[in-house]
Amino acid sequence: MRIREDYAGYGKRAANVSVNQGLLDAAKALDINLSATLERALEQEVRARKRQRWLEENREAIEGYNAWVAEHGVFSPMFRKR
């Protein structure tokens, strides 16, 4: 996972969060590690938002490339239709 590697050098820091009491009670009853679970969920959300931002920032270039490929095919002869 690239994001985990990106943040590997960072230490831990306490954070206050509010969680639905029933959900918290159920998680504790199931011995769910809240910190690890939150980190995994945040990694997924950060990855998704970074991907979405990149796609938005590069939409014009992607559309241009797709139009070029539709008209001319791909660059590599290995992938060209015969």
pLDDT tens column, 31-50: 999 999 999 999 999 999 99
Q: If we measure between CA atoms, which residue out of 49, 37, 35 comes closest to residue 3? A: 49
pLDDT at 6: 78
**N- to C-terminal Cα distance for the chain?**
38
pLDDT at 3: 66
Q: What is the pTM of this model?
A: 0.71
pLDDT tens column, 45-81: 999 999 999 999 999 999 999 999 889 888 776 766 6
pLDDT tens column, 8-39: 788 888 999 999 999 999 999 999 999 999 99
- Domains in the chain, number: 1
Answer yes or no: are the C-beta atoms of 3 and 47 closer than 8 Å: yes
Range of the domain at 26: 2-79
